[in-house]
Amino acid sequence: MSSSFDPALFEAAPSTINAEALTRPSLSYWQASCLRFKKNKAAFFGLVLLSLLLFMAIVGPSLNSYTYYENHLELKNHPPSINYWFGSDDLGRDLFTRVWYGARISLFVGISAALIDLIIGVLWGSIAAFSGGRIDEIMMRIADILYGLPYLLIVVLLMVVLGSGIIPIIIALTVTGWVNMARIVRGQILLLKKQEYVQAAILLGASFPRILFRHLIPNAMSPILVTVTLTIPSAIFSEAFLSFLGLGIQAPIASWGTMASDGLPALAYYPWRLFFPAFFISLTMLAFNLIGDGMRDALDPKQR
């Protein structure tokens, strides 16, 4: 039987050299989250809006020659014009300068209160969840008691006791403000500590701080970041509310709350005095809420 070889019956297999070039590049969890956040138009708009507000809070008071405390009684209640871009108040002070100086105060109070809530809440919730048993029970019952107290009532009472000023208002906002963060972090840590890599770290003798800060908290950052972005507008609104009641920032220092309080009696005749601080309070809260909603969607593993 003949066994001759005929090359025409065979053909070379196609090359696979460029096969990898056709596949999508591998993305990490955070890279994929950033990509989804950029595609969210509402969240990206909120980020741009917040960036503009922060920029104006830094440079806005220096864009004209007025100061936030300088009085010009002969020009009081002046409507918006080329000299007074946002008008003037009942003492002739430039509202444009005061609005952006007040933005510094309001944003500083809101961000500072949120960061303190972040630190206390993350530590409290993660320690309680990882320790378990009686420690978890005691710590979370304390948190539940604080959570059951009326938030604004406690803040108002503390402001009456501590007095007015930036530091007292930050302390008052954070006394019970960290409880929500602690409850969220505890729930995440309870899920994470059952994972194999955490159990392996425990068996290998890793210390409690190493497990907490190296394995548990970094893997719980998604809900933590979302909660922080939603806590900041709440703190800003609380500061504005307290200043509106006269319990927060005191004159001549400007904040959006004090400006709104000063402008309310003149609403019928000089509406710009209330409009501008109220508008920027609403704009800031909108920006943070859009960013928070966008981060919640972007960091959701189910969206991958």
Predicted pLDDT at 304: 56
Q: Which pLDDT score, from 0 to 100, does residue 2 have?
A: 54
Q: What's the pLDDT at 87?
A: 84
- Write out pLDDT tens, residues 242-275: 877 777 777 777 888 888 888 888 888 888 888 8
Q: Bridge-partner residues for 292, per DSSP?
A: none
**Domain-located, residue 7:** no
- Tell me if 27 is assigned to some domain: no
Residue 215 in domain: yes
Residue 100 sits in a domain of what CATH number?
Answer: 1.10.3720.10
Q: What confidence score (pLDDT) does residue 172 get?
A: 84
Task: Write the pLDDT tens digit of every residue in 18-44.
Answer: 555 545 666 666 677 788 888 888 888
pLDDT at 52: 93
- 186: in domain: yes
Q: What pLDDT score does 51 carry? A: 92
Residue 282 lies inside a defined structural domain of this protein: yes
The pLDDT value given to residue 31: 74
Specify the pLDDT at position 229.
84
Report how far residue 250's alpha carbon sits from residue 174's, in angstroms, rounded to the nearest whole number.
20
Please check whether residue 75 lies inside any domain of the structure. Answer: no
Domain containing 121 equals 38-63+85-299
**Dihedral-angle region of residue 23 (phi above 0 means left; psi in -120 to 50 means alpha; beta otherwise):** beta
What pLDDT score was predicted for residue 77? 83
Residue 88, strand partner residues:
94
Is residue 110 situated within a structural domain? yes
Give residues with Cβ within 8 angstroms of 200, minimum separation 6. none
Which residue positions in the chain have pLDDT lower than 50? 22
Total domains in the chain come to: 1
Q: Could you tell me if residue 44 is inside a domain? A: yes
- The model's pTM: 0.78
Distance CA 131, CA 127 (A): 6
